Chain A
Amino acid sequence: DSGVTQTPKHLITATGQRVTLRCSPRSGDLSVYWYQQSLDQGLQFLIQYYNGEERAKGNILERFSAQQFPDLHSELNLSSLELGDSALYFCASSEAGATYEQYFGPGTRLTVT
């Protein structure tokens, strides 16, 4: 158990809908990262937050947004969902920035039908 929690574990929704994925980092970790793993691609970095502020952005679509709250938990919002958004979404946390080990949560499996 990494200490990072993600909810829900599974999510099935229809195209055009909007969903929110939630992540609670390990106690004491200030950075939260979001990743997407789809079948045809490897692990893709989406976005990083550090202590409530956006720190780095990867291949995140404009339909997706994220935020980190004062209690350091983070939410990833996915809107106008398409079939291609079906994927495993991981959250990871670390003490600070890119030179620290990242601890991954169990992931949320999103299926868009």
Chain B
Amino acid sequence: ILNVEQSPQSLHVQEGDSTNFTCSFPSSNFYALHWYRWETAKSPEALFVMTLNGDEKKKGRISATLNTKEGYSYLYIKGSQPEDSATYLCASSNQGGKLIFGQGTELSVKP
């Protein structure tokens, strides 16, 4: 994988559903993986930064895991709420600091 890839591209769920997205990134020369939440007409908001294989982070109903050996990260949202509707971006960084962003997963949560 030369680029950062996210799937699915978009997701429509009902309020209360739990959901997850995938971010795949180059495992060679990996340094850090960032997750962002980006609401329409706003700026990206940092959710997590992860560096270690097996790392797991949690913020409220949102959590993320990291597998640096196989080059993927999962973002989970438990009990989705309409206010969770946003685009979720991941970005991978190498040791040189260059960040490569995925195209994002657009989440829509219907009440």
Chain A interfacial positions (CB closer than 8 Å to B): 2, 33, 42-45, 48, 55-58, 90, 92, 97-107
Chain B interfacial positions (CB closer than 8 Å to A): 31-32, 34, 43-46, 49, 51, 89, 91, 93, 95-104
Q: Taking A2-B43, A99-B31, A99-B32 as contacts, is the C-beta distance between A45 and B51 under 8 angstroms? A: no
Q: Taking A99-B49, A99-B51, A101-B49 as contacts, is the C-beta distance between A57 and B43 under 8 angstroms? A: no
The smallest C-beta distance from B100 to any residue of chain A, in angstroms, reads 7
A-B contact count (CB 8 A): 55
Q: Taking A99-B49, A101-B49, A102-B34 as contacts, is the C-beta distance between A44 and B101 under 8 angstroms? A: yes
- Residues in A with CB closer than 8 Å to B103 are 42
Quick one: which of A42, A56, A90, A104 contacts B97, CB cutoff 8 A? A56
